[in-house]
Amino acid sequence: MKFKSLRTLATVLGATCFLAIAAFAGDPTGNWTWTGPSRNGGAGRPVKATLALKDGTLTGTVAGRNGDTPIEDASFKDDTISFSVTRTMGDNKITMKYTGKLAGDTITGTYERPGQDGGDPVKADWKATKGDAPAQ
């Protein structure tokens, strides 16, 4: 009888720990801002995104000159976020791929965009902050 009580206690403690960890897991829902790359190496420009995590599905948009663009191929698991943004410029489609790790009100990672004139993809660091001020 004593072993059954210990087993029950261990099960309850394990379940409580699991639920506590799940409760403290990050949530990327909200408005995010970062400094995006500029043309010709000049000063970057602020980029704004709105993300939502519902029932394990990540959705959202990234603001641009021609309005908001929906994110694609989005995922969020174990505080790791990834998504793509495809924009059309003239007859060309350009896809930027973002990956990062959520820690509090910051996402830190890398993004990848196509190289110029069909060259190798360009990768760079990416740091977004929750709210309206872009991360530096």
Computed over every residue of the chain, the mean pLDDT equals: 82
Residue 116's domain spans which residues? 26-130
CA distance 67 to 70: 10
- Tell me what pLDDT residue 81 has: 97
Task: Provide CB contacts within 8 A for 128, sequence distance 6+.
Answer: 32, 33, 34, 49, 100, 106, 107, 135
The per-residue pLDDT for 18 is 43
Q: What global pTM score does this model have? A: 0.76
Average pLDDT over residues 75-95: 93
d(CA 113, CA 134) in angstroms, rounded, equals 20
Per the structure, the count of domains in the chain is 1
Is 10 inside any structural domain? no
Answer yes or no: is 7 within a domain: no
Mean pLDDT within 121-127: 91
Report the CATH number at residue 84. 2.40.128.30
Q: What is the pLDDT of residue 11?
A: 55
Whether 71 has a pLDDT exceeding 70, the answer reads yes
